[in-house]
Amino acid sequence: MLDVNETTRVEMDWSGPERLQMNMGPQHPSAHGVFRAILGLQGETVVDVDAVIGYLHRCHEKLSETLTYAQYPSIASKTDYVAAMTSEFAYVMAAEEIGKFEVPRRAQYLRVIVAELQRIASHLLWLGTWCMDMGGALGGGATIFLYCIREREDILDLFEALVGARLLYGFFQVGGTRYDIPDGWIEKCRATIDRIDSRVGEYEQMLEDNAFFLARTQGVGVVSRELAQDVGIAGPLLRGSGVNFDLRKNVPYSSYADFEFTVPVETAGDCYARYKVRMVEFREASGIIRQALDKLPSGPISSRPALKSVAQIRIPKGEAYARVEGPRGEVGSYIISDGSAKPYRMKWRGASFSNLSILPHIIPGHKVADVVAIMGSVDPVFGEVDR
Amino acid sequence: MNADQARASLASTFGIDVAAAVPMVVSVSPDRWQELGRHAKEIVGCRFFNFLTAVDWKEQGLEVVARVDNLEDGVSLMLKTKLGPGVSNCASLTHVYRGANWMERECFDMFGIHFDNHPDLRRILLEDNWEGHPLLKSYAVDTPHPPYR
């Protein structure tokens, strides 16, 4: 019989060469989708990370070769389903550039309005889920999440009134937009962004006065300016690392040249810097929407004639790369046309794919709990990573 | 370096004509691919790695395309190299741009292009036992994949 007093206890010494491999995901609440990180651990410290992606892969690039320029825009919204408007935007811009399509001014304004509303909705979802990831430290965690979802609902209501859909829109078409704004929409939109604007200040107070929040974000996941450019991360991540680059400002497309706004830049490169950039972007986005509503021109919303067949839009031989500043950074569509009704080749530059590829460079050296904070600050959408 | 200087420097180093366009398209032979990447980064100052992909031109073979940007001066380069019929090997840009790592893996996954000296060349989006490379024009959209289809 075993004498209980004689059982030997093995002391685990994690300072030695022992390593533990831990799977984080594919089903993990902080992954914001299906993502598997194989973490090599030494004690609580991550020493290496192998990112496994592709669980949501649908091969949009092959799919787009089988769909015409009239059909694909509404499918494009399924790449980044949290910011569906931006991917549609990039695709139709690339087709318009090769085909030299005229886009009416009213359509250009409507495009900017929905893109900026989408930015607010996407940032709200990011803020809510990120704060919930960091959990208990933030007063139960779910508080901010529910606040953010409440505000995001209002924007989805606006989209529903405009398009009839809440998540995947099909608002864009080559040559303009498919829908015009209904009666009373402008007033509703103004009221919504005013309300959200006033509440963003509340979130800032809740978070920035919270010592736990600061401890978990400041100095965590630092991306240097050099690394940021070398890996090609974009959007709030790039601007959080001290690079002053925003496509809306540097390469104005659509009607962005008509509006006044500032581009927030932070130099620290950590999770907190990326948070700060996005919080300013909330207000800049609503500023742009207000200006666009004030100056909204009248006239047609599309230069495209009514279609008798889906293969009616043909664009000449050529290639173009069109890019827009989405909530997660540069979303680009590279189309090569052979003169038919479908692209010969279409490449998606998904912002989330490039942004996610920074993880193996910044995670090693951090604790396991920080992986969650860093992942959330990158704001990946796996529909866009895997395409 | 501004666009005109970049054009002159690329034209003289690689002995090619570079048209003044946005983005500037620079086509070189595969043996100078890595040198082109280095030149773009260090001389032209395109430190931002945007994307890398490939195009299947059927009987003319594969073409690798990469885009890099100089964010400060607003210069954008579209780097291209035609691998030639039947060739599926290409020099890797990973040692010039770290962002090329995942992009080249995706390119290998989708087109079967082997990037020499890539530190970690394996499939990234599809599973490891997948047969074929979907973005090749010879790969039919409805290729059967038991037990799924």
Q: Where are the domains of chain A?
A: 58-368
Buried b (16+ CB within 10 A) or exposed e, A72-97: bbbbbbbbbbbbbbbbbbbbbbbbbb
- pTM here is 0.88
Chain B residues touching A336 at Cβ < 8 A: 55
Picking from A321, A357, A361, the nearest residue to B23 by CB comes out as: A321
| All structural domains of chain B with their residue ranges | 3-87
CATH code for B3-87? 3.30.460.80
Q: State pLDDT tens for residues B61-112.
A: 999 999 999 988 888 999 999 998 988 889 999 999 998 999 999 999 999 9
Burial class (CB in 10 A: 0-12, 13-18, 19+), A124: buried
Tell me the ipTM for this assembly: 0.89
Q: Is B19 on the interface with A (CB under 8 A)?
A: no
By residue count, chain A amounts to: 387
Question: Among all chains, which residue has been given the structure tokens 């400002």?
Answer: A249
Q: Which two tokens stand for residue A338?
A: 């052979």
Contact B71 A250 (CB under 8 A): yes
**Can you give the pLDDT of all 387 residues of chain A as single tens digits?**
445 455 545 454 555 566 778 888 787 777 777 888 888 888 788 888 888 898 889 889 999 999 999 899 889 988 988 889 998 999 999 999 998 888 999 999 999 999 999 999 999 999 988 888 887 556 556 788 888 899 999 999 999 999 999 889 989 989 889 899 999 999 999 999 999 998 998 888 888 888 888 888 888 888 998 999 999 999 899 999 989 999 998 889 988 999 999 999 998 889 999 999 999 999 999 999 999 999 999 888 888 888 888 888 888 998 999 999 999 989 999 999 998 889 999 999 989 999 999 998 998 888 888 888 898 888 888 888 988
Picking from A53, A229, A332, the nearest residue to B51 by CB comes out as: A332
Among residues 55-114 of chain B, which lie with CB inside 8 Å of chain A? 55-56, 65, 67, 71, 74, 78, 97-99, 101-102, 106, 110
Q: Is B51 on the interface with A (CB under 8 A)?
A: yes
Are the C-beta atoms of residues B61 and B6 closer than 8 Å to each other? Answer: no
For residue A100, what are the CA distances in angstroms to A95, A303, B1? 8, 11, 30
Chain A residues touching B110 at Cβ < 8 A: 61
Pairing status of strand A45-52 against strand A172-173: unpaired
CATH class held by domain A58-368: mainly alpha
